[in-house]
Structure 1
Amino acid sequence: LVAVVGGTVSSLREQIAARPATGTAVLPGAVTSLVAAVLVVAGLAWVLARLGPVSATPAAAAWWLPLPADRRGLLRGELVRVVLVSATAAALVVVPVLLAVPVTPAAVDVLVGVATAALLTAAGAGLLVVLQAAGRGHRLPTVAGALACVAVVGAALTGAVLAAVDAAPVTGWAVQPAGTPLVGAAVVAAVLAVLAVVAADRRLDRLRAGDLRARGEIVQYA
């Protein structure tokens, strides 16, 4: 699926590049890719915040959570699944986004970009678990929805205003060659992911049984 979508995006980009310039494209494709990435991140945060991100099935909540045992061991598998699913989803979505930029990226750029996106998403999932343990993640779906609306409407209004004033096309959004900046971003993302997942693991025992049961019922319904 990723290969088909990536090939389609690459073919579409080549067709657009083959056409003569019209002077009406005031926003480059990288801006559209950035808006798409913001939408994906906001949507993933919204889903994870509504579903937990860590939850327990009604059976587990009724039988295992009341026992005087280590709750971290019971919920650690759920944390691992949430982190892996989130990172995998980000890795799958970021491939067509990277291929939609104006300059054809090298294979190393794509691999580093996919790894960075997956690691940052894993860090975000861990941070959401920390917020869930602190009881501060209730407003996150609203914030994520507002961020998605601002990104879409802001990009559309910016393009309309620039086109109305006959502004020159925005430049400077080309992909940088593979090197220290991209690798450095991947290293920073890896450090953030490790810190966030470790912090989330240490706070699993602070999750309330009632909240875990309610989230589990929502997950089963979904």
Structure 2
Amino acid sequence: MSLQFLTFPPSNSQPPVGLIVTLHGWGANAEDVASLLPFFRLPNYQFIFPNAPYPYPYSSIGRAWYDLRMENMYQGLAESRQLLIDWLQSLESTTGVPLSRTILSGFSQGGAMTLDVGLKLPLAGLVVMSGYLHPDVETTAKSSFPPTLIVHGRNDEVVPLQAALKARETVESLGVATEYHEFDLGHEISPQMLEVLRNFVVNAIG
């Protein structure tokens, strides 16, 4: 298995100052999150949007990082986790941007993958949008973790706000520098979320 992805160079035609990888949610695909590109307002960054490795059971165009049909089974997670780690580590050779200047972000199931994989890698930062924590996420303290931004809608009926609060509590207990924002939104990515993301990226990388 290998990851298919969409990549967009900086819109200012200069070498990228950093790289932003965004993981889609369950049943979405790379095109869905790529459509948000104009709202990021980060013209000097390269963007990469990977497609999850598994087909989505309810639509021919959707993709999945693992199967969510049976609660807490997470079938396929271990394979996706290793695939994503290997792929992220390979990006420096293809983009010229090191992990230390790479932001990993994700929405919903992609946000859960961001926390799962991102805490294991020397990334510049993690952004979790409407995400949650896997039950077996890495919880061993180490000397440094990427700073992490968690954003969530108070009215989210798909991933309840409680999931964001639990994720925040867990990562803070590990010593992760955590920024947290709630919005009067449902399960969605909004322009105001992306504005917070933009400020986080600029503070993390410049």
- TM-score bracket, normalised by the shorter chain, equals under 0.3
Superposition TM-score, scaled by structure 2 size: 0.27
Superposition TM-score, scaled by structure 1 size: 0.26
- Structure with greater proportional strand content: 2
Structure with bigger gyration radius: 1
